[in-house]
Chain A
Amino acid sequence: MSYADSNAHHEEGSYFSGPPGMLAKIWQWMTTVDHKKIGVMYLFAIMFMFFIGGVAALAVRYELLDPVRTVQMMDASGEEMTIVTGERLAGLKDIMNARSANEVYNRMFTLHGAVMVFMFIVPSVPASLGNFFLPIMLGAKDVAFPRLNLLSWYIYVTGCLFGVLSILMGGVDTGWTFYTPYSTTTDADHWRVVLMILAAFILGFSSILTGMNFVVSVHKLRAPGMGWFDMPLFLWGVYATSIIQVLATPVIGITLLLLVFERLFHIGIFDPSMGGDPVLYQHFFWFYSHPVVYVMILPAMGIISELIAVHSRKHIFGYRAIAFSSLGIAGVSFLVWGHHIFTAMGELAAILFSGLTFLVAIPTAIKVFNWLATLYKGSIAINTPMLYALAFLFTFSIGGLTGLPLATLATDLHLHDTYYVVAHFHYVMMGGTVVAFMGGIHHWWPKMFGKMYNEKGGMLGCILVFVGFNITFFTQFFLGTQGMPRRYANYVDEFQTLHQISTYGSWIILLGFLVHLGVFIASLISGEKADQNPWGGLTLEWETESPPIEHNFHHEPVVTHGPYDFDKVVPPGWDPKDYPLPANPSSHS
């Protein structure tokens, strides 16, 4: 950071026009405190982890193409022999130092869970799009603590390295939840479990620093004229998320620390043979890990608010309701962790947690209805961001509604730990967060990189992901209600058709993401230059160039209109002739 000379004006290029020379450029990026560069670095690192987690997911689905069967048969010489069919991951046994093909499978689903949760989806939206756009949308030059921001990126990368190292050493088979006593005893002679736990521990610090940075930025760095209720709703989502990150992450920190000590020195706190309590671990773990699913979904909801308003060119319906429902979800999120362990607590506690869990549905439904009402009579543009927003409404609603039977004690007894839970979770996390994240990336791609992407290619990718996603996971609702337990490599023959359909779906998802990758690369290489404001958005990021200059704005912006006043304001960068305003703009609160 430079001090005192800050107000000196100098010619500014786009934020990624660096010094000449490859090494100098790399050094500039590695030492930058510019939130935009850090956001882009986060985006690439996160997408790389998404790739690793995705490969593990494909491996899991591949193994499940057929059940494991031991078959007696004659070989060519007429001798009777026993072969095992359906162990599709058996080829990885030696590479991963596993004792059996089933252990390979156990490690694969653990890697999928741990990588996707800790290294991809928790940081996904806030650390990449949030870092890039939060200060710009506030009208600020940077986040409140730019150096801490860079530090959080390095901590994130260090955590990921620990995780990747653990994977390279063979991976872990504890499940991403590290439940004791299994996680403290399995692979006792090996460091890989400790490495994976430490990875999650380290990533927590990165999460806390990002959260602190955003909370302070939102409080202190809003542009003149921007009150709390003039903020874009994306910022409300990120703000609510950051509060959860700050308040919940330290608890997982101490939990994982105790877990590491339990494993290395057997301190006994989670070990029933010494009087410890493994359920205490589960309480600690979910006290963080339940709020953290709202860390994953709240910024995604923020993105959807932006996408739907901008691409239907309509004032968002119920601004304050959406803003407060974000805070409401953040508040309730701390009171529902018990629903992960209904069977491990008394009846009264279970009933209370069940009731509190139902509360989450209220603010969530408020948001969904407000988005639908926003679309009503809007001029809806059919493009990739809007398609993703519509896909979100569809899949997220299914994800949300299928959560209710899980919150109900009686039905949860049947559905607990089945594929129904897997399907529900993926409808919310992938059908919610990932879909919104992809929509957000397309929406802000022209701003981040200054290039347009191929709209047809983007829409094709979106449709493939949407169709593949539903094929993959809708089948799992049926599997779950029929009793297919999660985390099993084997199953009865009756389930095979559904499992096969699910696996084919996962290949369609892969195809969709490959199309997106191609579209992005093509855009970076030969994309058409993006205008300042290709969508006609009214938030502050559209008032600066694409890509933004190093200090974001030439002059400090002053906010004179709301972020969604599409019927009152000509979007920045647009010719008023192309944007006829209605004679009698409707009034909004």
Chain B
Amino acid sequence: MQTTLDADTTPAPAHIANHPLHWRNRGYAHHFKSRDEDFDSSKFGMWLFLTTEVLLFAGIFCGYAVFRMLYPEAWSNGSHYLDWRFGAANTVVLLISSWTVASAVRCAQLNKQKWLQINLVITLLCAALFVFIKIQFEYIPKLGEGKAPGTFFSYAYAQNPYEVLWWSLYYMGTGIHALHVLIGASLLAWVLFRSWKYQAYGPTEYLMVENSALYWHLVDLVWIFLFPLLYLIH
């Protein structure tokens, strides 16, 4: 845990500065010996949790690999139904959001309250944009054409009987990923609210910002793998 020399030293308005949730007024959990121990433990716990997330998605990627090996043609066809431009746009959106969320952590460490909030707002807008593109330009048109998973599959021009499996894995993979986007956005919205209301995060109390940001990076990372595997294969 570090504070830096160029941290913003503007004092918070009195009604916020005296609030127990303001970052200067926060202690640490009673069963820890020090603030550092609390911080390190929580961050370690977050990394363990991210490990479990990676293994969760591993199931999807493993299924993807197995069926791509079994039915290369169905996979090639399936990929060509996807428009890489939407995938690329969403990749850019998520990369930008990862940059802003990292900046948010830095701003918390530097006590730049306004920029902390601005960065979080941009991140949330990116999250909304991602979900919007995903639903509006990808899910809705595809479902309308019958390119749906399992029993709902009714696309009349499928050239390979196993394309339905491609769609099943496409929707499971991107669906679970989208769920993670929503969870991550909720976490960041919670951070934004507490930052706006109490200035809850600052140079000595930015754990929640950092852990939410770590989660957000993971969401980004999973997409970095999903994008080429789904959109860019032949």
Residues of A within 8 A of B161 (CB): 275
Q: Kindly identify, within residues 21 to 50 of chain B, every residue whose CB is under 8 Å from any CB belonging to chain A.
A: 26-33, 37, 40-42, 44-45, 48-49
Residues of A within 8 A of B32 (CB): 221
Decide yes or no whether B158 CB sits under 8 A from chain A. Answer: no
Query: Interface readout for A105-120 with B: 1 if CB under 8 Å, 0 if not?
Result: 0000000000000000
Contact B165 A274 (CB under 8 A): yes
Decide yes or no whether B8 CB sits under 8 A from chain A. Answer: no
Cβ of A259 to closest chain B Cβ, rounded Å: 11
**A265 CB contact (under 8 Å) in B27, B33, B49, B150:** B150
With A246-B48, A251-B55 in contact, do A268 and B168 touch (Cβ < 8 Å)?
A: yes
Decide yes or no whether B1 CB sits under 8 A from chain A. Answer: no
Decide yes or no whether A216 CB sits under 8 A from chain B. Answer: yes
CA distance A394 to B40 in the complex (A): 43
With A216-B45, A220-B40 in contact, do A141 and B30 touch (Cβ < 8 Å)?
A: yes
Q: Kindly identify, within residues 228 to 265 of chain A, every residue whose CB is under 8 Å from any CB belonging to chain B.
A: 246-251, 253-255, 257-258, 261-262, 265
Decide yes or no whether B59 CB sits under 8 A from chain A. Answer: yes
Decide yes or no whether B230 CB sits under 8 A from chain A. Answer: no
With A3-B26, A146-B31, A255-B59 in contact, do A208 and B41 touch (Cβ < 8 Å)?
A: no
Residues of A within 8 A of B63 (CB): 258, 269, 280
Contact B31 A268 (CB under 8 A): no
CA distance A275 to B49 in the complex (A): 34
Contact A254 B59 (CB under 8 A): yes
Decide yes or no whether A438 CB sits under 8 A from chain B. Answer: no
Query: Interface readout for A265-276 with B: 1 if CB under 8 Å, 0 if not?
Result: 111110000111
CA distance A247 to B33 in the complex (A): 29
CA distance A221 to B32 in the complex (A): 8
Contact A258 B172 (CB under 8 A): yes
Residues of B within 8 A of A267 (CB): 149-150, 168, 171-172
Cβ of A212 to closest chain B Cβ, rounded Å: 5
Contact B164 A274 (CB under 8 A): yes
Query: Interface readout for A406-427 with B: 1 if CB under 8 Å, 0 if not?
Result: 0000000000000000000000
With A145-B45, A216-B44, A266-B151 in contact, do A4 and B27 touch (Cβ < 8 Å)?
A: yes
**A250 CB contact (under 8 Å) in B33, B52, B150, B168:** B52
Contact A212 B165 (CB under 8 A): no
Query: Interface readout for B147-171 with A: 1 if CB under 8 Å, 0 if not?
Result: 0011110000000011011001101
Query: Interface readout for A81-110 with B: 1 if CB under 8 Å, 0 if not?
Result: 000000000000000000000000000000
Contact A140 B149 (CB under 8 A): no
Contact B49 A212 (CB under 8 A): yes
Decide yes or no whether B136 CB sits under 8 A from chain A. Answer: no
Decide yes or no whether B82 CB sits under 8 A from chain A. Answer: no
Residue from the set A2, A3, A142, A268 with the largest chain B CB neighbour count within 10 Å: A268
Decide yes or no whether A277 CB sits under 8 A from chain B. Answer: yes
Residues of A within 8 A of B57 (CB): 254
Decide yes or no whether B60 CB sits under 8 A from chain A. Answer: yes
Q: Kindly identify, within residues 442 to 496 of chain A, every residue whose CB is under 8 Å from any CB belonging to chain B.
A: none
CA distance A539 to B210 in the complex (A): 37
Cβ of A221 to closest chain B Cβ, rounded Å: 7
Decide yes or no whether A335 CB sits under 8 A from chain B. Answer: no
Contact A140 B31 (CB under 8 A): yes
Interface size class of chain A, counting residues whose CB lies under 8 Å from the partner chain: 35 or more
Residues of B within 8 A of A212 (CB): 45, 48-49, 52
With A3-B27, A145-B45, A258-B59 in contact, do A280 and B66 touch (Cβ < 8 Å)?
A: yes
With A212-B48, A280-B63 in contact, do A269 and B168 touch (Cβ < 8 Å)?
A: yes
Residues of B within 8 A of A246 (CB): 48, 51-52
Q: Kindly identify, within residues 349 to 387 of chain A, every residue whose CB is under 8 Å from any CB belonging to chain B.
A: none
CA distance A266 to B58 in the complex (A): 21
CA distance A123 to B67 in the complex (A): 35
Measured CB to CB, the nearest residue on chain A to B29 is: A1
Cβ of A549 to closest chain B Cβ, rounded Å: 14
**B59 CB contact (under 8 Å) in A2, A4, A251, A268:** A251
Contact A220 B41 (CB under 8 A): yes
Contact B41 A216 (CB under 8 A): yes
Main SS of chain B's interface residues? helix
CA distance A215 to B45 in the complex (A): 8
Decide yes or no whether B56 CB sits under 8 A from chain A. Answer: yes
Decide yes or no whether B71 CB sits under 8 A from chain A. Answer: yes
Contact A284 B59 (CB under 8 A): yes
Cβ of A140 to closest chain B Cβ, rounded Å: 6
With A3-B26, A216-B48, A269-B165 in contact, do A142 and B31 touch (Cβ < 8 Å)?
A: yes
CA distance A258 to B66 in the complex (A): 15
Residues of B within 8 A of A561 (CB): none
Decide yes or no whether A6 CB sits under 8 A from chain B. Answer: yes
Residues of A within 8 A of B149 (CB): 261, 265, 267-268
**A221 CB contact (under 8 Å) in B41, B59, B71, B151:** B41
Residues of A within 8 A of B59 (CB): 250-251, 253-255, 258, 284
Decide yes or no whether A167 CB sits under 8 A from chain B. Answer: no
Contact B56 A1 (CB under 8 A): no
Residues of A within 8 A of B176 (CB): 254, 257
Measured CB to CB, the nearest residue on chain A to B171 is: A267
CA distance A144 to B59 in the complex (A): 29
Query: Interface readout for B59-75 with A: 1 if CB under 8 Å, 0 if not?
Result: 11011001100110000
Contact B53 A141 (CB under 8 A): no
Residues of B within 8 A of A266 (CB): 150-151
Decide yes or no whether A219 CB sits under 8 A from chain B. Answer: yes
**B60 CB contact (under 8 Å) in A216, A219, A254:** A254
Contact A250 B53 (CB under 8 A): yes
CA distance A258 to B67 in the complex (A): 15
**B172 CB contact (under 8 Å) in A148, A215, A261:** A261
**A208 CB contact (under 8 Å) in B52, B152, B171:** B52
Residues of B within 8 A of A145 (CB): 41-42, 45
Measured CB to CB, the nearest residue on chain A to B163 is: A275
Measured CB to CB, the nearest residue on chain B to A141 is: B31
**A268 CB contact (under 8 Å) in B27, B33, B150:** B150
Measured CB to CB, the nearest residue on chain A to B25 is: A4
Residues of A within 8 A of B162 (CB): 274-275
With A220-B44, A267-B150 in contact, do A253 and B56 touch (Cβ < 8 Å)?
A: yes
Cβ of A223 to closest chain B Cβ, rounded Å: 10
CA distance A279 to B32 in the complex (A): 47
Cβ of A148 to closest chain B Cβ, rounded Å: 8
CA distance A265 to B62 in the complex (A): 21
Cβ of A289 to closest chain B Cβ, rounded Å: 14
Cβ of A21 to closest chain B Cβ, rounded Å: 25
Residues of A within 8 A of B168 (CB): 261, 267-269
Residues of A within 8 A of B169 (CB): 269
With A221-B41, A268-B168, A275-B165 in contact, do A247 and B150 touch (Cβ < 8 Å)?
A: no
Cβ of B12 to closest chain A Cβ, rounded Å: 19
Residues of A within 8 A of B54 (CB): 250
Measured CB to CB, the nearest residue on chain A to B49 is: A212
For the complex of A and B, the 4 pairs showing the least CB-CB separation, nearest first, are A4-B27, A6-B30, A254-B59, A141-B31
Instruction: Supply 7 further A-B pairs (C-beta < 8 A) apart from A216-B48, A269-B63.
Output: A5-B30, A212-B49, A249-B52, A250-B52, A254-B56, A265-B149, A275-B67
7 pairs of residues in contact across A and B, judged by CB atoms under 8 Å: A5-B30, A247-B55, A248-B55, A254-B57, A265-B152, A269-B168, A275-B162
